[in-house]
Structure 1
Amino acid sequence: MPAPEPTSPQSGLEEAVADLAAHVLADAAARACDITAATGGPPCTTAAPDPPPPSLPGPPSLSLPEPPSPDAVLEADLEQVLRGPTGLGTAGLRLFPRQETPALPEPEPAPAIAAVEGTPIPGLYHHPVPEPDPVRVEEVSRRIKAWALDEVSLYPDDWEEEFDGFSVGRYMVGCHPDAPTIEHLMLATRLMVAENAVDDCYCEDHGGSPDGLGERLLLAHTALDPLHTTREYKPEWEKSLHSDAPRRAYRSAMEYFGEMASASQADRFRHDMARLHMGYLAEAAWAKEDRVPEVWEYLAMRQFNNFRPCPTITDTVGGYELPADLHAQPAMQKVIALAGNATTIVNDLYSYTKELDAPGRHLNLPVVIAEREGLSDRDAYLKSVEVHNDLMHDFETEAAALAAACPVPNVRRFLRGVATWVDGNHHWHQTNTYRYSLPDFW
């Protein structure tokens, strides 16, 4: 299914975001001086930048020459975002397929993508990507298993096959090809494993239950967002952080993350994890009531119970930072939400048969559509594919519009990193035949 032509940015968006970029640069410089002075450093002075703001340093493939005019900046930036990077191994980093911009010069061809295990869902809009770097996959897989076993005692011996079958090293290397080091990749990998431990042990098939879930999630969240209490009661809380595998994993993964992330990036992640936990609670409430929600209600829950915490740390894993002021903008938040929503529906679709085989009733988008709209299982599944495709097209359109309106290199880099995560997430689901198989609907 071809991707739609990108829509023009909303009226006034270019001016608003350009003004914001100038404000962010000036404000960040002022705050840096304030922090330096407050911590005993030498005094410094700042001067307001003359508009337009100078280009921020970025990777060579993302830098642009000084533009002759604001209109030229927007046109060149949009062209580069739509075309994506060129050269070996960069096909999966483009926001749009190359054939949608025929007027652009043909970039250097990328190598053919080797045949991979697994079959993509017919009709599902996605971008094929190269196989993750096998050397990195092997090293990340080795390190994450050592962490799980030796540092946090994550699982008993009889879970080892399932842990290996998850292929988390391959997953994270494929989602973060721009990570500068293995340790940067490990930040995402530990957090991914910890999040899955909470989901499995608190919510799903390894002892999970909706009963008492709110208490378990709140106490586990204090491993991410520390409790500040009195001296009398603090030791009991600290002891609780080692009381079960999910809390041990959360505590350790967050400590590692905090060592390399800025304070703003760490707080951003905590916020997104609170969103995730709230989504878990909504799904648990429906399970307690034995109620199938309306489709729109289910999609609202999925905007919280989704993959959002993973792509939102793409800059930390990439070794740079998207300024908090830019990350918090409604346009950026919309792009991140759409990415999380689309990737989570991918999970609904690929895990459909796996969940049907599991005990009890598992809510996913095809099940909810079938129940609420009176469709057959097949038609509900195919309609869910359409929902995913609409979300993907909206994500790409909004991302391209934002990149065009805000010509700041780290904005473009972050948007491309989120798009790469989306593509890598699909690739992992498609090729993880240990976990997933497709229904016989075609």
Structure 2
Amino acid sequence: MSPLGGPTGVGTSAARRFAGRQALLRTDADLPALGLECPPPRRVDPLLAARLDARLLKWAERIGLYHGRLEQVRAAGFGRLAALCYPGTDNEDLLLVPARCALAIWAMDDHYCDNPDLGAVPSLLGSRLARASAVLGRVSLPARFEAPFAAAIRDDPALEGLRSAVGHLQRITTPAQLDRTLHTLRSLFTGLAQEGTWRATGHRPLVWEYLLNRQANSFTPCMTVIDALGGYQLPANVWAHPRVQDAVGTAALAASIANDIHSADVEDEGGDFNLQQAIVTEQDCTPAEALHLSAGLHNELMHRFHRQRAHLTVSGPRELPRFLDGVLDWCAGSLAWHQSAPRYRQRPGRPSPYGKEQP
């Protein structure tokens, strides 16, 4: 869900407006009654969150992200997201690293995919995503072309934000840790490009197609930095093991479904490329039924992750239980953030569906 208006963002460019579709309207009691299964966040520290948000806002202003809309960026609370999701450290400098990365990717999605007021042009999406992938590194241009490429980055706030965020990430990670994050970011760009193709062709994905896209366009990049922030390293061969990849992918998909559930009908807009809308279209059910089916898929995935985590904790190396605990912490913090972020709690003219303020 975009911090600046309609439903967009990291793992949330799923929710688009389109004509002729039924909005996924909820009652005020719907979301709490869904019973999304996830533990509460391990750390709730409003003062830490406020300090991180203030520093993040200064960074965004310096980069030029969301020019003229910085108060809405503050309200989005990406610093608070980092404080909730990474309880393994209290170091503000470290916590700012994933906060910058999250805001940079959200901004790229808004500037490129979703918001014409910020410069989004559908016909340019593919070339812009290719440039963004190049900004992630490993580009070996002849010397005389390096300066024009650097100038193109400086002239584009979305690219400059991504470049800066990855630069900060590089300073706290080993090469192996950095490589895993960049790999998952490129997968995320692939997911955004696929959505662009769906929009251009008018294709409405089946549920399995949508979930495949969500596996790429998910929160996995956020999870890749858990060990770097905790001051240890999950060995590269352990990260790459199919069972570990499956466990992390399961948790990331569950978190993405939770995001869909919370962002489906903000401002009463239709949910193009949203899980609930895919279910409504495919199964010819009501939006309320689709909402509960989505919650059931979320809980099914969380149960699977708990089983995977229990097995891997017994059979894996000593760093793995700590990392998987961090993945669960991330899911818990993300859900708490979604439950209390203003853009998910409130729609114009309607009270919060959550009642009192959440953590």
Normalised by the length of structure 1, the TM-score is: 0.69
Partner of 1:353: 265
Inter-partner Cα distance in structure 1 for 2:167 and 2:43: 30
Report if aligned partners of 1:353, 1:436 keep a CA contact under 8 Å in 2: no
RMSD over aligned CA atoms reads 1.9
Partner of 1:305: 217
Whether 1:168 and 2:58 are equivalent positions in the alignment is: no
Q: Quote the offset at 1:214 in angstroms.
A: 1.1
- Residue 326 of structure 1 is matched in structure 2 by 238
Counterpart of 2:341? 432
Distance 2:200 2:266 in 1: 22
Q: Secondary structure at the match of 1:139?
A: helix
Aligned pairs for 1:208-357 within 5 A = 208-354=120-266, 356-357=268-269
Change (3 A) 1:216 1:289: same
Could you tell me how far 1:237 is from its partner in structure 2?
1.0
Deviation at 1:434? 3.5
1:142 is aligned to 2:54: yes
| SS of match in other structure, 1:423 | helix
Deviation at 1:357, TM superposition (A): 2.4
Show CA shifts across 1:343-364 (max 9, x none): 0001100001117427xx6220
The one-letter code sitting in structure 2 at the alignment partner of 1:366 is: Q
Larger Cα-atom Rg: 1
Distance 2:84 2:78 in 1: 10
**1:179 aligned partner, one-letter code:** T
Which residue matches 1:397? 307
> Which runs of no fewer than 5 residues in structure 2 stay unpaired?
1-29, 354-359
Matched-pair contact (CA < 8 Å) for 1:168–1:193: yes
Tell me, in whole angstroms, the C-alpha distance in 2 between the residues paired with 1:297 and 1:186.
Answer: 34
Aligned residues of 2:43 and 2:83 also touching (Cα < 8 A): no
Contact 2:61 2:70 in 1 (8 A): no
Q: Which residue matches 1:153?
A: 64
Aligned to 2:20: none
The answer for unaligned runs of 5 or more in structure 1 is: 1-117
Q: Which has the higher helix share?
A: 2
Q: What is the CA-CA distance between 1:437 and the residue it aligns to? A: 4.5
Q: What displacement does 1:143 show?
A: 1.1
- 3-state SS of paired residue (1:317): helix
Q: Post-superposition, which runs of at least 4 consecutive aligned residues in structure 1 deviate over 4 A?
A: 437-440
Contact 1:223–1:250 (8 Å) recurs in 2: yes
Partner letter of residue 274 of structure 1? R
**2-side partners of 1:146 and 1:121: how far apart?**
38
Q: TM-score, normalised by structure 2?
A: 0.84
The total of aligned residue pairs comes to 318
Aligned partner of 2:296 among 366, 375, 386: 386
1:24-173 equivalent positions in 2, closer than 5 A? 120=32, 122-129=34-41, 132-150=44-62, 152-157=63-68, 159-173=69-83
Conserved? CA contact 1:351–1:437, under 8 Å: no
Alpha-carbon separation, structure 2, partners of 1:381 and 1:435? 15
Aligned to 1:375: 285
